Amino acid sequence: MTTTSATTPVPGTAATLRLGTRRSALATAQSGMVAAQIEAASVLAGRPVRVELVEVTTHGDVSGAPLSSFGGVGVFVSALRDALLEGRVDLAVHSLKDLPTAPCPGLTLAAVPLREDPRDALVSAEGLSLEELPAGARIGTGSPRRAAQLRAALPGVKIVDIRGNVDTRLRLVHDGELDAVVLAVSGLRRLGRDAEITQILQPTVMLPAPGQGALGIECRDGDAAVLAALAPLDHPATRAAVVAERALLATLEAGCAAPLGALAQVTTAPDATGELLGLQAVVADTDGVVVLRRAGTAPVGRAEELGRRLAGELLEDGAARLVAEASTGSDGPAHPAPELPVPDQPAAGDRGRISTPAGEGDL
């Protein structure tokens, strides 16, 4: 497995697949993991392929603006999709929580591999749990979803809006600028930093973003060779779970500013006659005062229907108003972020109508 740049097309061969990836440490770790899985599966199938990583820079990688200011823009996705559609890469790996809910013409979601732990984690300066943090503790996050649920769980907490990679965020805690940060368990594990987790936050306290912990692998429609190479990586239970979560997201038409969480999991039916899909969801106002929660179940084969049904119940409860308020920038009390260096490069174009939760991959 090698790494190249997407600026110059790399000629493909029947035995080589070019995998588009963002340049961040987390993105390349995720893509490297997928590349190894593809190569191993191809050997087992008797059709060995080599996977080559091709680095692509996205708008989200070079912008320092708060995530909520991006609105409905696929800032971590569109450049990878452009590279796919232009033939510069053969497949692309996305953090599913960044992937738009609307399909991109010409592309297909070919595989959703087995999901990593979807929950969020607290990393605190003194090894304190969320419940042990003092009044007025400064907690860093760039996610309106996390901020709202933190305010609901810990009234009086001071939320600091932060950006940057995992190392940057953890350094803010280690250097004493913040009392704690909240990051995705999956991202920390994929980077080998899970030993720094103070507490894994349970869904009753912090529901994750739709798709968190899961990866999505896209390729061009009708690319038989790539589709065949990716088929062994698809995990049906993970795909069903993210279909339900993303159907809820799409029905609520929630952008990246909306404090919305969702988690679906496959369980055995009480009578042991088959599998059920359970879905939990939360929509909150940005200050964490109004919190709407719903849960439901359905057969695994009706995942999309479950997501849309639960979204409908939340809309009846008043979720539309909360989503609209978040989209217009009613952010609740916030505190300025520590200064972070950000490259000043031009924005890339974006594709399609998008509903996506707060991005940055599984950070």
Distance CA 58, CA 80 (A): 7
**Candidates 82, 98, 161, 179; catalytic one:** 98
- 52 to each of 1, 55, 140, 225, 246, how far by Cα in Å? 5, 10, 36, 15, 30
**What per-residue string of b and e applies to 7-18 under the rule 16 or more CB within 10 Å gives b?**
eeebebeeeebb
**What per-residue string of b and e applies to 270-294 under the rule 16 or more CB within 10 Å gives b?**
eeeeeebbbbbbbbbbbbbebbbeb
Task: Clarify whether 287 is annotated catalytic.
Answer: no
Q: Which long-range contacts (CB under 8 A, 24 or more apart) does 169-172 make?
A: 169/140, 169/363, 170/123, 170/196, 172/140, 172/338
**Sequence-ordered list of residues with C-beta below 8 angstroms from that of 186, at least 6 positions apart, any chain:** 115, 116, 117, 118, 212, 213, 362
**Strand 275-284's sheet: what is its strand order?**
260-268, 275-284, 291-299
Distance CA 331, CA 333 (A): 7
- Tokens 């229907």: give the residue: 305
Distance CA 360, CA 150 (A): 19
- 145 to each of 19, 86, 150, 152, 362, how far by Cα in Å? 31, 34, 9, 11, 14
User: Which residues carry out catalysis?
Assistant: 98
